[in-house]
Amino acid sequence: MKKLYAIVILLLASLLISSNAVAVDEHWEAARDVVAETTEQVIALMEDRSLLEDENRTRLQSEVESIVTPVIDFYGFGRGVMGRFARTATEDELQRFADILKTTLIRTYSMAVSEFSVREYSITPPRAPSPQPDMQVVNVQLTSTAGKTYNILYYMRNIDNEWKLVNVAVEGINIRLTFQNQFADMYQRARSVSGVIDGWEERVAQTVAEVVEDVEG
């Protein structure tokens, strides 16, 4: 779980993306533009050094929430993580899990903004248009100040004329699938969706504070 959230920090920190990619397809461009707009907002946030002070952590999380909430489909992401268990989950459980994912990812992203350092980043345009115009992949290469380079694939979906992040793969590791396997493993012990959700929140609380150190190391 600790390693898993280290990966999440990398993918969230890598939203700091260059917008100089070559134009290839209007749908892909639209998806990329959402990421580029988010980039400008995050860069502006990072320039406010007062937000990195301990007493301003709550304010930082609030600022991060206002930036990432419009671009991540937390509800759809949560259903994907639940996998087959989503079919038996109640609407309350689906929404509660989406809210937990949102809270923990925002907390993790806030830590990434304050701790993770990016040296350079770029976008590689796709070799061919997507066979599904409403599904686009934005390929990002991110290099940390420690000299580590990561290849990240953002899976974007057009939902009601808005491009939303629905999945990510980091260095070949599919985040939604990894979370899905984690959920299934926890279900074997909890024997209920509600039990997994309760346990998920507890495990995240125990591990997220340790993740940034791993990423920077």
pLDDT surpasses 70 at 100: yes
Q: What is the pLDDT of residues 165-188, one digit of tens each?
A: 998 888 888 888 888 888 999 999
With tokens 């907390």, the residue in question is 107
Mean pLDDT of 117-123: 71
* Residue 152 CB partners (closer than 8 Å, separation 6+): 10, 11, 14, 139, 140, 141, 142, 168, 169, 170, 171
Domain ranges of the chain: 2-212
- At the second CATH level, the architecture of 2-212 is Roll (3.10)
pLDDT tens, 3-22? 555 555 555 555 544 444 34
* β-bridge mates for residue 17, sequence order: none
pLDDT for residue 98 is more than 50: yes
Q: How many degrees, rounded to 5, is the angle at CA 150 between CA 145 and CA 151?
A: 145
